[in-house]
Amino acid sequence: MDSRTTEFEQMLDTIFSRLDKTDVRLLMRVWSARTGKQESPGSGVPADLIKDMKNEYIPTGDLRMLEKDMTAAGISFPSVVRDLSDVPEDLKYTKTTEAAVGPTGGELEIPGFVKLVVPPGVLQQDTMITISTVDVAAILRDSESFNWTSGYPWSLGEDVCPRELLEQVLFSPAVDVNLHGAELNGDLEVQTWRPSGSEGMECLLLKHHDGEGWTDITASTVCRMYPDKISISLRSFSPVAYVWAPVEAVISVGKMIVNALSSRTLDCRFAAYIKPMANDVHFHVVCRDQSVETDDYLPGFTKCGSNLAMFDLFHGDVLEVAVSVRGGQSESKPLELRSNPCHNKYGQNIQMLLDRPNGDCVKGEVDVKKKPSFRTVCQFIFQEEDDITPSKGGKTKGHSKKRSQASPPLPKKKRKELKMHQRDEEAGPSAVRADTTGAVDMEESFEKVIEATSHKWDDLARKLGFSENQIDGIHNSKIDQDHRCREMLRRWRDREGRGATLQVLKQALINIGKRWTAEGL
């Protein structure tokens, strides 16, 4: 046995050691149906069958077959392997791909999982389309386990469905299609595989609608069944889950999973809170479901900015929360959403310690994106009020300007709005201040833009006149966001020549919500 095989076997051992008895039992059922090996009766799984199962995965030297079996069994494979250093990064999250498709039609595919077929004439113009898988097991699971049944009974009550029935349910990969606002002249076809062991079962199609929850669209959807795949036709898109259930239980299972998914769907708002210290601040970004009707937070913290999520989120979604302080540091942290804390008064938070740039009040931007596609979830500006900032001696600083005694003090929120309005007014009607510094080192400016904005390089590219095909080409030619941003800026400068001015770059940054980055150039 060579070293690579030994390392792969050790990785499998680590993965299997994380599975509980229910995980193994669900996985064994799918594996037995696919391989024809005898499934163990009863609740236990003999050690020799587990060994046989591992040995069947080892010759491939690839985790993708195990990933597919876990998906079919309703086990969140990304959650199992996310913190394992030897596992490839693309297996640690849901899968996504995008490409431009035009009026002549075309196909997009996540190999081994889902294919989108765009017939000729359905699109009116070249359109960027993104397809992603959705980890249904991660939405429904409990934090202590990896399979979808571990979250039972969710918030639905103990008698919603017998547990023994849940373990008969199978899954095809759930999929989300994003047309980025394009209108269709006809249906698109979505193809995915059907799980081993689903023979004689019925497939439920459950679709999510932002702000409305999940619904069963099986009866209203054109669906074609094949021995190894399922194909559906749709004209409007949002996440669709494929659930296989025994014929006699399909109605009760469908109703239960619709309600369970809806209970784990979050209509979020994000808020930033600051607790001032002498030389730095405690900074928390808090996520709450909008059903929580309060902005109250921990003692000593003051709200300094907020905004709503642009679309619904799910329990188990992995977000990247990036905080950029004007004139100071930039920091980002991951946040794996949990429905229970998001419905709590204090929400689910990430915590940072931010330095004060030059001892001034802290202000900047919060940018929340969903991994792995880095689709923008929420953006907002935060600003610390200057009358709550402790001085170095520990006392609170007041405003340096005196107010007329006849005028009552303005509420903090109004003062904040007034300051931001005044700053915008000072910037002039073009929203870009005149550059009076003469020649500007564009390379130095590019580095600042890359540091602060590489996560939004594609939005910036659109404002600088790049087409979707050009953006797609840059995306595919470079390995990460920083390199893509640098390549895009280089191409813009080469293309525009003397027209690639700092003023144009600043305006483009402001147009994508990066005013402070622009003003810092």
Does residue 2 carry a pLDDT above 80?
Answer: no
Q: Which of 84, 90, 83, 24 is nearest to 54 (CA)?
A: 24
How many other C-beta atoms can be found within 10 angstroms of the C-beta atom of residue 66? 24
Mean pLDDT of 207-228: 91
Q: Which of 348, 350, 329, 352 is nearest to 339 (CA)?
A: 348
Residue 122 identity = V
Read out DSSP for 507-519?
HHHHHTT-HHHHH
Q: What pLDDT is recorded for position 387?
A: 53
β 302-308/268-276 pair status: antiparallel
Does residue 408 carry a pLDDT above 50?
Answer: no
Question: In 371-511, at which residue ranges do the beta strands (DSSP E only) sit?
Answer: 375-383
Per-residue model confidence as pLDDT tens digits over 68-125: 999 999 999 999 999 999 899 999 999 999 999 999 999 999 999 999 999 999 999 9
Measured CA to CA, the distance from residue 351 to residue 37 in angstroms comes to 49
Does residue 432 carry a pLDDT above 60?
Answer: no
Fold held by 442-519: Death Domain, Fas (1.10.533)
Q: Report the range of poorest mean pLDDT among 305-309, 371-375, 426-430, 474-478.
A: 426-430
Fold held by 96-263: Chondroitinase Ac; Chain A, domain 3 (2.60.220)
Q: What pLDDT is recorded for position 407?
A: 33
Most confident of 56-65, 74-83, 322-331, 405-414: 74-83
Mean pLDDT of 266-285: 93
Q: What pLDDT is recorded for position 434?
A: 36
Q: What pLDDT is recorded for position 162?
A: 80
CATH code matching the domain that covers 266-399+411-416, chosen among 3.10.330.10, 3.10.105.10, 2.60.40.2660, 3.40.50.300: 2.60.40.2660
Q: What pLDDT is recorded for position 351?
A: 96
Do 96-263 and 442-519 agree at the fold level? no
How many other C-beta atoms can be found within 10 angstroms of the C-beta atom of residue 76? 25
CB-neighbour burial class of residue 198 (10 A; exposed 0-12, middle 13-18, buried 19+): buried
> What confidence tier does 386 reach under pLDDT thresholds 50, 70, 90?
low
Measured CA to CA, the distance from residue 168 to residue 462 in angstroms comes to 48
Most confident of 243-247, 472-476, 502-506: 243-247
**Domain residue limits, the chain:** 3-86, 96-263, 266-399+411-416, 442-519
Mean pLDDT of 478-487: 84
Measured CA to CA, the distance from residue 487 to residue 475 in angstroms comes to 10
Q: What pLDDT is recorded for position 216?
A: 95
Mean pLDDT of 205-216: 89
Higher pLDDT, 8 or 440: 8
Q: What pLDDT is recorded for position 333?
A: 95
pTM of the model: 0.72
For 496, list phi and psi in degrees, rounded to 5: -90, -20
Does residue 495 carry a pLDDT above 50?
Answer: yes
Specify whether the backbone of 106 is left (phi greater than 0), alpha (psi in -120 to 50) or beta. Answer: left
Q: Which of 260, 229, 259 is nearest to 244 (CA)?
A: 229
Higher pLDDT, 287 or 445: 287
Count how many Cα atoms sit within 13 Å of the Cα of residue 49 in the half-sphere of its side chain.
Answer: 18
